Amino acid sequence: MLYVEICPLTKEWPREECFELAAQVRRSSNSAAAQLAERYDDRHVKNQIEGVNRSRGEAAESVHHLHMACLRGFLSNQAFEALRDRYEECIRMLNGLERRLERRLPQSDRRWPEREDPDEE
């Protein structure tokens, strides 16, 4: 879980960032997983999809905060790129999860169009 890795990184940042950038990246990185957990048992597919969408947004927000930390010199470019790549992989997996969930919805309610060739995924 990326949140567990990010927490110790932020403790090395300047003290004045403790309640600013560090807190924001910790919150968004934890919230990405929490959004999925919160909606996992929901009986309504649209609510499950909303959880996936929120999780994707929190993951993207985490990447933004980490990029700002890199620009400000709190995080090396190499560390940022490694974390960004892992978040991008999470976002790709979330996209796949959303597509799978949408298959349980009527065609008219889907945001992702059905593909002609099912082997394209």
Read off the pLDDT of residues 78-102 as tens digits, 9 standing for 90 and up.
999 999 999 999 999 999 999 999 9
Contacts of 117 (CB under 8 A, 6+ apart): none
What pLDDT is stored for residue 53 in this prediction? Answer: 96
Helix, strand, or coil (residue 12): coil
| Domain assignment of residue 37, yes or no | yes
Whether 30 and 22 have beta carbons less than 8 Å apart is answered as no
Give the chain's domain count. Answer: 1
Alpha helices in the chain (DSSP H): 2-11, 21-39, 45-71, 77-102
What pLDDT is stored for residue 66 in this prediction? Answer: 98
What pLDDT is stored for residue 115 in this prediction? Answer: 66
What average pLDDT values come out for the chain (121 residues) when binned by 10 residues? 94 90 97 93 93 97 98 97 98 96 90 63 51
Q: pTM for the full model?
A: 0.87
| Domain assignment of residue 6, yes or no | yes
What pLDDT is stored for residue 100 in this prediction? Answer: 94
| Domain assignment of residue 35, yes or no | yes
What pLDDT is stored for residue 41 in this prediction? Answer: 86
| Domain assignment of residue 121, yes or no | no
| Domain assignment of residue 115, yes or no | no
Q: Which domain holds residue 79?
A: 2-104
What pLDDT is stored for residue 17 in this prediction? Answer: 86
What pLDDT is stored for residue 108 in this prediction? Answer: 85
CATH of the domain at 33: 1.20.1440.60
